[in-house]
Structure 1
Amino acid sequence: MDETRVAVRCDDCPFAATYDRLRDARTAVDDHESSTGHSVDWEIESLDAGVSRAGADAGVCGRPECANEDSPLVDPEPPDQES
């Protein structure tokens, strides 16, 4: 099973780190950019199998034909929006 691994690296200074949670990586990027003004690159090297499946089932590419209609993660009929 793959696990989540995100690499974060700054081109302007020696800052570099890896994280096992997307939220932690995003927080590190935001914190470093806001405190230094640097532009930080990050790369998702791998994702936990459950995260990958959820994305695939939901059709995250935005095309309805990509969604897995049998998945419990997909609600084919969104609830009515109240005005």
Structure 2
Amino acid sequence: MSLSEKFIVLPFKKNRGNIVPGEMRQASSAASAEKIATAMSARHIGVAAYSVQVDEESGDMSSPKLIVGFGETADLNAA
């Protein structure tokens, strides 16, 4: 299993009264993820940037670490 660190930005939206993640965007660095999240924050009820560990073979993501968050977001570690 080969792990690498990736940076993602997730906008959040309401669906049937629950906060759910929207379409994930990838970023090239933590600073880039923070910049993208900041820019998206005015258009969504919540936005969060994370660093995650990605298994290069399976594509599975694990160990999300919050870089920055705005508004209403869901806890990815609770899933």
Give the TM-score, by structure 2 length: 0.43
- Tell which structure's C-alpha radius of gyration is larger: 1
More strand, by proportion:
2
Which structure ranks higher in relative contact order (CA pairs < 8 Å, sequence separation ≥ 6)?
2
More helix, by proportion:
1
Give the TM-score, by structure 1 length: 0.42
